[in-house]
Structure 1
Amino acid sequence: MTPFSIIAPGRILFGRGEAAKAPAAIRAFGGRGLIVHGANPARAAWLMDGLRAEGAEILALPCGQEPTLALLEDALQASRPFRPLWVAAIGGGAALDLGKALAALVPAPGGPVPHLEIVGQALPLAAPPLPFIALPTTAGTGAEVTRNAVIGLPDHGRKVSLRDDRMLARLAIIDPGLTDHTPRSITLASGLDAITQVIEPYVSCKANAFTDAITAPAIGQGVAALVRLMETEDPQARDALAWVSLTGGLALTNAGLGAVHGLAGVIGGFTPAPHGAICGALLPAIMRLNRRHATGDTARRLDLVFGWIADALVGAADAAPETLGAWVRAAGLPGLAAQGLAPARHLEVAEAARASSSMRGNPVVLPVTDLVAALQAAS
Structure 2
Amino acid sequence: MAQAREHRAACIVAVGGGAVIDLGKALSGLSVSDGDPGEFLERGDGPARRLEDPLPFVAMPTTAGTGAEATKNAVIGVPERQAKISLRDARLVPDLAIVDPALTDGAPRGLTLATGLDAITQLIESYLCNRANPVTDAICRATIPTAIVSLHRLMQNEDAQARDVMARASFLSGLALANSGLGIVHGLASVIGGRGAAHGVICGRLLASALTVNAAAVQRRSGETSRFRDIASWLATGLDRPIEDGFAALRDFVDAHDLPSFENLGLSQTEIESVATMARSASSTKANPVALDHDEICRVLSDAW
**Same-fold call, TM cutoff 0.5:** yes
Gaps in structure 2 of 5+ consecutive residues: none
- 1:216-231 aligned at under 5 Å gives the runs 216-231=141-156
The CA RMSD over aligned residues, in Å, is 1.3
Letter in 1 for 2:278: A
Identify the match of residue 353 of structure 1 among 259, 279, 283: 279
Percent identity for Structure 1 against Structure 2: 45
Cα 1:83–1:264, aligned 2, differ >3 Å: closer, same or farther? same
In the alignment, which residue of structure 2 is the partner of 1:17?
A: none
Residue pair 1:113, 1:119 contacting (<8 A) in 2 also: no
- Residue 174 of structure 1 aligns to a residue whose secondary structure is coil
In the alignment, which residue of structure 2 is the partner of 1:45?
A: none
Cα 1:148–1:122, aligned 2, differ >3 Å: closer, same or farther? farther
1:124 CA drift (Å): 4.6
Identify the match of residue 186 of structure 2 among 258, 261, 270: 261
In the alignment, the residues of structure 2 paired with residue 124 and residue 164 of structure 1 have an alpha-carbon distance, to the nearest angstrom, of 11
Deviates more, 1:288-297 or 1:360-369: 288-297
Paired residues in the alignment total 303
Residue 373, structure 1, aligned to residue 299, structure 2? yes
Instruction: Give 1 or 2 for the bigger CA radius of gyration.
Output: 1
Residue pair 2:117, 2:204 contacting (<8 A) in 1 also: yes
Q: Deviations over 1:283-330 (max 9, x none)?
A: 000001111011558511111111111111122333211111011100
By relative contact order (CA 8 Å, sep 6+), the higher-ranking structure is 2
- The structure with the largest helix share of the pair is 2
1:120 CA drift (Å): 5.5
- 1:15-94 aligned at under 5 Å gives the runs 76-94=1-19
Residue 311, structure 1, aligned to residue 237, structure 2? yes
In the alignment, the residues of structure 2 paired with residue 178 and residue 374 of structure 1 have an alpha-carbon distance, to the nearest angstrom, of 35
1:183 CA drift (Å): 0.3
Residue 342, structure 1, aligned to residue 230, structure 2? no
In the alignment, which residue of structure 2 is the partner of 1:278?
A: 202
Residue pair 2:213, 2:299 contacting (<8 A) in 1 also: no
In the alignment, the residues of structure 1 paired with residue 223 and residue 36 of structure 2 have an alpha-carbon distance, to the nearest angstrom, of 44
In the alignment, the residues of structure 2 paired with residue 337 and residue 377 of structure 1 have an alpha-carbon distance, to the nearest angstrom, of 12
In the alignment, the residues of structure 2 paired with residue 207 and residue 243 of structure 1 have an alpha-carbon distance, to the nearest angstrom, of 20
In the alignment, which residue of structure 2 is the partner of 1:135?
A: 60
Deviating beyond 6 angstroms after TM superposition, the runs of 4 or more aligned structure 1 residues are none
In the alignment, which residue of structure 2 is the partner of 1:294?
A: 218
In the alignment, the residues of structure 2 paired with residue 362 and residue 186 of structure 1 have an alpha-carbon distance, to the nearest angstrom, of 27
Residue pair 1:104, 1:125 contacting (<8 A) in 2 also: no
Letter in 1 for 2:186: H
In the alignment, the residues of structure 1 paired with residue 277 and residue 246 of structure 2 have an alpha-carbon distance, to the nearest angstrom, of 28
